[in-house]
């Protein structure tokens, strides 16, 4: 039994749409993180990250999240969630 061509095109378009939405969400989250959460960055570094994320959306966002250090507030939340009193 063969899958109709229209069915294949529908699935590929649907998967492409889902992938596009996921990439767009990650892109927006990266920009919001750089602009509003990273108070440790000076103006030049923040602008450089924003430009990298805007000019190269996928690569810039992946690089940002891969190289981003854990902020002290986030580290405290992680540590406190791991060391629950028994």
- For the chain, the first-to-last Cα distance in angstroms comes to 59
Q: What pLDDT does residue 77 have?
A: 73
**What's the confidence (pLDDT) of residue 64?**
94
* Burial class of 50 by CB neighbour count within 10 A (0 to 12, 13 to 18, 19+): middle
How many other C-beta atoms can be found within 10 angstroms of the C-beta atom of residue 47? 13
What is the reported pLDDT for 54? 95
pLDDT at 48: 96
**Two tokens, residue 11:** 């699935």
Q: What is the pLDDT of residue 59?
A: 95
Distance CA 54, CA 63 (A): 12
Q: What is the mean pLDDT of each run of 10 residues along the chain (86 residues)?
A: 60 81 94 90 94 95 90 71 67
pLDDT for the residue 58: 93
């Amino acid at each position: 039994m063969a899958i109709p061509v229209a069915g294949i095109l529908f699935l590929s378009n649907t998967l492409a749409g889902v992938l596009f939405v996921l990439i767009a969400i990650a892109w927006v989250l990266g920009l919001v993180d750089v602009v509003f959460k990273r108070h440790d960055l000076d103006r030049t570094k923040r602008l450089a990250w924003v430009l990298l994320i805007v000019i190269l959306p996928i690569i810039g966002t992946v690089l940002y999240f891969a190289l981003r250090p854990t902020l002290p507030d986030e580290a405290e939340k992680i540590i406190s969630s791991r060391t629950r009193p028994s």
